[in-house]
Structure 1
Amino acid sequence: MTVAAILAHKGRNVLTVSRDMSVAEVVALLAERRIGAVVVVDDVRHILGIVSERDVVRMLAHAGFEGLAANVASIMTAKVITCSDQDTINDVMERMTHGRFRHLPVVEDGRLAGIISIGDVVKARIEQVEREADEMRTYIAMA
């Protein structure tokens, strides 16, 4: 199974923000949408960074509530690990586990094309395992 299959089911909509948005505005969006990360992009959807709940917590520990007035570029993770829609579930699970992050932007032709979370990946993997188990049961029953 590939990232394309996950995106076909969940969609390719991604909440994005600009680098000059305040941290407080981003925190409000994360809370309102009940999501764990937003992607920071330029006008043509090139990825500039990603901001997760973890980035916000680190900023609060370092700067306190005054840090909420800063722009998001000051706390975003600028070196963003990405994937393509042709990557397999196993590939992205390994990348996420190794990098210890829960969100992975999907890039096509250098531009943001979607995002997957560890929850999306685990759900897809469970569905895949259940489907394989059903196929094995059917095969055994027919033997």
Structure 2
Amino acid sequence: MKTVAELLKLKAEKHQQVHTIASSQMVLEALQEMANKNVGALPVVDHGQVVGVVSERDYARKMILEGRSSAKTPVSAIMSAPVITVGTHQTVEACMAIMTDSHLRHLPVVENGQLVGLLSIGDLVKEAIAEQASLIQQLEKYIRGE
């Protein structure tokens, strides 16, 4: 199975850049950034360290349902923390297990204390399907004697 480093290299160039937000910024700014970048979550970074993740789900559950104002509420009030991160050496399979066990949809990738990427459950599922398709193709060739 591929490592996180290999998977990050394969991601389309437009999806390699990680967009972040500070915990002191307002939720409205986070929503605008997610909409502008067409992403469902943003890592929350303070002083170069990942301190949480804020997602559309956090907004729906912790803002709308509680009647809060997104213009007056800081990201720190609704972000998911503490954050679970992985290193670039982890396998796709290990990341899927972490995300499944922890009920996560987004997983920040950290190397030497710095954020280097963000994996979504979709990224991992796409890779797992590609690996299975490749294995099936190899087995079919083996059966045919090629």
Q: TM-score, normalised by structure 1?
A: 0.91
**Aligned twin of 1:19:** 23
* Deviation, structure 1 residue 81: 0.6
| 1:100 and 2:110 correspond | no
* Deviation, structure 1 residue 39: 0.7
Measure, in 2, the Cα distance between the counterparts of 1:46 and 1:125: 29
| 1:113 and 2:128 correspond | no
RMSD of equivalent CA atoms:
1.6
Measure, in 2, the Cα distance between the counterparts of 1:31 and 1:101: 20
Does the CA-based 8 Å contact 1:59-1:67 persist in structure 2? no
Measure, in 2, the Cα distance between the counterparts of 1:60 and 1:115: 24
Q: TM-score, normalised by structure 2?
A: 0.89
Report the more deviating stretch, 65-74 or 7-16.
65-74
Report the more deviating stretch, 90-99 or 64-73.
64-73
Q: Is there any run of 5+ residues in structure 2 with no aligned partner, and where?
A: none
| Structure 1 or 2: more helix by fraction | 1
Measure, in 1, the Cα distance between the counterparts of 2:64 and 2:102: 22
Q: Is there any run of 5+ residues in structure 1 with no aligned partner, and where?
A: none
Aligned pairs for 1:51-130 (under 5 A) are 51-130=54-133
**Secondary structure in 2 aligned to 1:58?**
helix
Letter in 2 for 1:7: L
- The Cα offsets for residues 66-86 of structure 1, whole Å up to 9 and x where unpaired, read as 244211111111200111111
Does the CA-based 8 Å contact 2:63-2:78 persist in structure 1? no
Letter in 2 for 1:60: M
Report the more deviating stretch, 6-15 or 113-122.
6-15
**Secondary structure in 2 aligned to 1:8?**
helix
